[in-house]
Amino acid sequence: MDRIAIIGGAQLHGEIPVSGAKNSAIKLMAASLLTDEPLRLTNMPRLADTRFLGKLLSRLGASVTESDGPDGQQTLLHAPEITSGFAPYDLVRQMRASFNVLGPLIARTGQAKVSLPGGCTIGARPVDLHLQALEALGAKIDLHEGYVYAQAPRGLKGAEITFPFVSVGATEHAMLAAVIADGVTVLHNAACEPELLDLQECLNAMGAKVEGAGTPTVTITGVARLHGATHAVIPDRIEMGTFAVAAAMAGGEVRLTRARPGLIDSLLVKLEEAGCGVEPTADGVIIRRSAERLKAVDIETAAYPGFATDLQAQFMALMTVADGESRIRETIFENRFMHAPELMRLGADISVSGGEARVRGVARLEGAEVMATDLRASVSLVIAGLVARGETTVSRIYHLDRGFERLEAKLTACGAQVRRIKGDGEAEL
């Protein structure tokens, strides 16, 4: 099993291009099931998660072709016919978001059998809201032996759906199912994340009629069919925020390009509060920090546009060497402080009580062997390793490969000493 080794102490100087958003790309890929014409997605990240979903889509009847086009990395998806409505556990369990093929399958073919996604290390994340939304649209849902059996032989019907609490996945799933339903669907208390607006723009390019994505009320007027389209995936705000924190941690000056800094305003405000320089540019943002120690600041995760839960672990790593004590409150997911004990192996002073962590900054971290517990936790350990004295080795980095494209190469290009150690012990620079 691969590991990543980091020698701490080097400042970061250079430019990092931000990849397309993982959280958007996988939902856009699922949208390809809604039409018998090709969907071309540009600015596509090459990640374990997108390839997992590609395997599942291929099983369902889609062709998935990756290539380098005039607009960079692209994926061409084409499902002229749905040859199977069965999404097995061995594929769905590898990535929860693959459960979102259920809605498009029901909408297009009137039936599907999709595995429940199973447990998650950072919390329960049930799919109840997904299923309730599909039932409101007229699908008959049965659960049996870990599978969802769904039927809508006469097609889905538009409906008023009010989510009891904000759910990004359920909002996206309802949008995917409702675009070719008969009638108008209105989603109340919808999630407002920018990835939803990206999904709306892609669906509308395919001929859908969706309005309001990015606000609490989304209106979908069903159409008879969708057609093919070309759509550029939005920049990954979590990758952008991660590299911004890495630059703040290591010091130096990093220019993030192909990025939209407005998507991470909540983070950039906190970086400035801590003492970082933040300078928006025409195509991104510059993060700079002198040798002066950062100040401790508090954060509380919240739904967009609040501080993203997917940046909480990275920010905690930054606060481990800040001057003073910071309080970090996690309000989105339970069990999302599993990176804290691993950061403590590097010498961090952290105490966790319920949904709050107190981080008392230390003068220096020390390199050690640590283990990734989930996607965002894994990169927080890499960030901490950038300043830890000596060598830090992060194991179980298959989590990292799910959501970060060419992480080692992007950091190394800016002066970091980061290398991948292959499972057989051979290092890969």
CATH of 25-230, one of 3.20.20.80, 3.40.1360.10, 3.30.360.10, 3.65.10.10: 3.65.10.10
The response to whether 22 counts as a known ligand-binding position is yes
Burial 14-24 (b: 16+ CB within 10 A, else e): bebbbbbbbbb
Give residue 429's pLDDT: 41
Structure tokens at 73: 């990395």
Q: Are strands 140-144 and 147-151 parallel, antiparallel or unpaired?
A: antiparallel
| pLDDT digits (tens), the chain, 429 positions | 899 999 999 999 999 999 999 999 999 999 999 999 999 999 999 999 999 999 999 999 999 999 998 878 999 999 999 999 999 999 888 888 899 999 999 999 999 999 998 644 434 457 899 999 999 999 999 999 999 999 999 999 999 999 999 999 999 999 999 999 999 999 999 999 999 999 999 999 999 999 999 999 999 999 999 999 999 999 999 999 999 999 999 999 999 999 999 999 999 999 999 999 999 999 999 999 987 899 999 999 999 999 999 999 999 999 999 999 999 999 987 777 999 999 999 999 999 999 999 999 999 999 999 998 887 788 999 999 999 999 999 999 988 888 899 999 999 999 999 999 988 654 444
Which residues lie closer than 8 Å to 138 by C-beta, 6 or more apart? 152, 154, 155, 156, 157, 159, 181
The CB density around residue 325, as the number of other CB atoms within 10 Å, is: 13
Nearest Cα neighbor of 240 from 213, 275, 266, 214 is 266
Nearest-5° Cα angle at 299, 386 to 281: 65
Tokens coding 227 = 């057609």
Q: Is 401 one of the annotated binding-site residues?
A: no
Q: Which of 120, 192, 202, 276 is catalytic?
A: 120
Q: Is 120 a catalytic residue?
A: yes
- pLDDT value of residue 50: 95
Q: Which of 79, 115, 122 is nearest to 94 (CA)?
A: 115
Residue 291: strand, helix, or coil: coil
- What are 11's two structure tokens? 């400042």
Query: Residue 369's closest CA among 353, 351, 357, 384?
Result: 384
Residue type, 413: A
Angle between helical axes of 168-178 and 128-136 (0-180°, round to 10): 30
In the chain, where the domains are located: 3-13+235-428, 25-230
Sheet architecture: strand order including 217-221: 160-162, 184-188, 217-221, 209-211
What pTM does this model have? 0.94
Would you say 128 is a known binding-site residue? yes
Q: Is residue 332 annotated as involved in ligand binding?
A: yes
Tell the residue number behind the tokens 């606000």, with chain if given. Answer: 215
Rounded Cα gap, residues 238 and 242, in angstroms: 6
State how far Cα 169 lies from the chain centre. Answer: 11
DSSP-derived secondary structure for 107-142: HHHSEEEEE-----TT-----HHHHHHHHHTT-EEE
Q: Torsions phi, psi of 336, nearest 5?
A: -100, 30
Helix axes 237-250, 22-31, angle to 10 degrees: 170
45 is in an annotated binding site: no
Specify the 3-state DSSP secondary structure of 364.
Answer: coil
* Contact assessment for residue 181 and residue 137, using Cβ atoms and an 8 Å cutoff: yes
Judge whether 3-13+235-428 and 25-230 match in fold.
yes
88 is in an annotated binding site: no
Give start and end residues of each alpha helix (H) in 192-301.
194-205, 237-250, 265-274
Domain 3-13+235-428, CATH class in plain words: alpha beta
Query: Would you state the structure tokens that stand for residue 371, as one six-digit string?
Result: 């283990």
Using CA atoms, how far apart are residues 293 and 231, in angstroms rounded to an integer?
43
Contacts of 409 (CB under 8 A, 6+ apart): none
DSSP string, 31-68: HGGG-SS-EEEES----HHHHHHHHHHHHHT-EEEEEE
